[in-house]
Structure 1
Amino acid sequence: MEKTIQEPATYQLVADLLKQGAEGDIFGCLTEGSFDLAKVALVKEKLSGITVQLLDGDGYAVRQVTSKRREKSVARQESLSDRQVKVVRALEKVLMHCKREGIQLIGYSDELVALPASVSEEEISAASAVDIDCYGSYRGADAIFDTDTD
């Protein structure tokens, strides 16, 4: 559900409104001040799954924050650190931008290439692909199963 934090906003008013929210709710702020108060309230009140957006004059979100609980599972600790998870989330945002801009990413064995999304599967060729410098962080599925050690 989308709700608007009305002005003038005080910490107590914002906190009370956010506490009434449920996971998945989105609260829109009309000023930078109420947005900052809402961010502080999310943390201090330990509210999770709530999104706060700073809205411009036309009602578009120009900034957004969503509160989340820190996972404490053993499996998570054995895999990626919190910082590494943040990097993965940033990569996901970049991939979302790729989709919006009409870019598709294709994995060719051990390299990653970019193509316009308008190129159909039948028309995909290495000649129209732009190589992406992955700095050694991308390995194709062939690399996992490759047992050759030359």
Structure 2
Amino acid sequence: MHIEITSTTTQQQVHDELRQLRSGDRVHCADVGQFLFCKRLLEQWRWSDVLLLMMDDQKQVLKQFKYKPPAHDEVPRERLLKDQEQVVHALEKVFAHCHKVGLQVVSFSDGLVVVPKDLAEDPMALCSAAALGINDFETYTTFAEHLD
């Protein structure tokens, strides 16, 4: 679920709407002032499971924020397992969609690229414009990297 915060939404309305959010929800803001207000509330409440986005008129993301707890705040193991299950489910849905539309996700160099399935075996295609790199936000590593 996501909620839209417009420039005419009052601070009390923003506060009330944010209180209704659940884990994994998103907040879309139309202007900087509302974005900063929402960011401050999420930081105060220490909600690390809500994504805050500032969007332009074409629905392009201009800024994003997700509260990151300090290193000394340890996340309970049950929470990590729940997050892990949600991520696995989401990735499986993405891979199922790739399969359905004829795309292949390939490990290439030190990252992942997506190419049409018929080009996945061609090493030259993996470094061409036909391959779209995936921004993994430094979460993807190979087994070999852990051996070094």
| Length-normalised TM-score, structure 1 | 0.49
| Length-normalised TM-score, structure 2 | 0.49
**If you compute each CA radius of gyration, which structure gives the higher value, 1 or 2?**
1
